[in-house]
Structures are given as C-alpha cells and as structure tokens.
C-alpha cells in the first residue's frame, strides 16, 4: 500500500518535468562548451594561416632581394608590401610591414597591431 501511495500521478509528472528540465540544462551547457571550443579552434586556425602567409611573404621578399641584390630599406619595403598583398593574409589590415636597418643587420618584419612581430627575419650585412 505504501508503494501505491508513492506513485501518485502528480508526483510522477513533477519528477518527469524536473528530469526533462535538468536534461535540457545539461544539453545547453554541453552545446555552449562545444560552441566555445569551435570558436577557439577557428581563432587558432586563422592565426596559423596568418603566420604562415607572413612567413611566405618574407621568404618571397628575401628571394627577390637576392635576385635584385639590394638591401636598402627604401627598396625592400615596397617589395615586402607587395608580397603581403599577394599572399591574401587574413586580417591584413591589422598588420604592417617594417624594414629596419641597424648596425647588426637589417630586420625585415611584419608587425601586428600591438607591435609584436607576426614574422621577422634578420639579414646580416
């Protein structure tokens, strides 16, 4: 008799509703975490594409410099900018080409908006 009394239809409906609500909440949490992970993976992928294309642009610039045999910053900067445009770099508007001549060599770099290099190389004189 006690078992019959515990299986009241209202209590069963309440438990089912509570179980369904908990399942929906758990599903929402799982989908949110999954979505956040996908966004993180996309950002990492974009960063890797940007970095690799910056390296390719600098490599092409060095190849053209070797052919033209010029190391002046005035001659190298337009070459680097042209190579950057030809690489179709994602978020290229946040990058700037930089050629600095110092006593220890020439620094050819593609800088991010925060001033840190996305890719750089030093060419000794």
Model pLDDT for residues 8-25, shown as the tens digit of each residue: 777 888 889 999 999 999
Pairing of strands 105-111, 117-123: antiparallel
Return the ∠ at Cα 54 (arms to 50 and 59), rounded to 5°: 150
> Where is mean pLDDT largest: 12-16, 23-27, 60-64, 74-78?
23-27
Kindly report whether the global pTM for this prediction surpasses the value 0.75.
no
Residue 8 has a pLDDT of 75
pLDDT band at 1 (very low <50, low <70, confident <90, very high): very low
**Structural domain spans, the chain:** 2-123
């Amino acid at each position: 008799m006690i078992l019959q009394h515990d299986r009241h239809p209202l209590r069963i409906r309440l438990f089912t509703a509570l179980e369904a609500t908990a399942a929906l909440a758990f599903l929402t949490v799982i989908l949110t975490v999954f979505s956040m992970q996908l966004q993180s993976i996309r950002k990492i992928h974009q960063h890797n594409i940007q970095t690799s294309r910056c390296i390719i642009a600098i490599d092409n610039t060095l190849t053209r410099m070797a052919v033209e045999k010029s190391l002046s910053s005035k001659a190298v900067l337009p070459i680097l900018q042209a190579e950057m445009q030809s690489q179709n770099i994602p978020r290229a508007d946040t990058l700037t080409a930089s050629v600095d001549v110092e006593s220890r060599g020439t620094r050819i770099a593609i800088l991010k908006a925060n001033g840190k290099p996305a890719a750089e190389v030093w060419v000794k004189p």
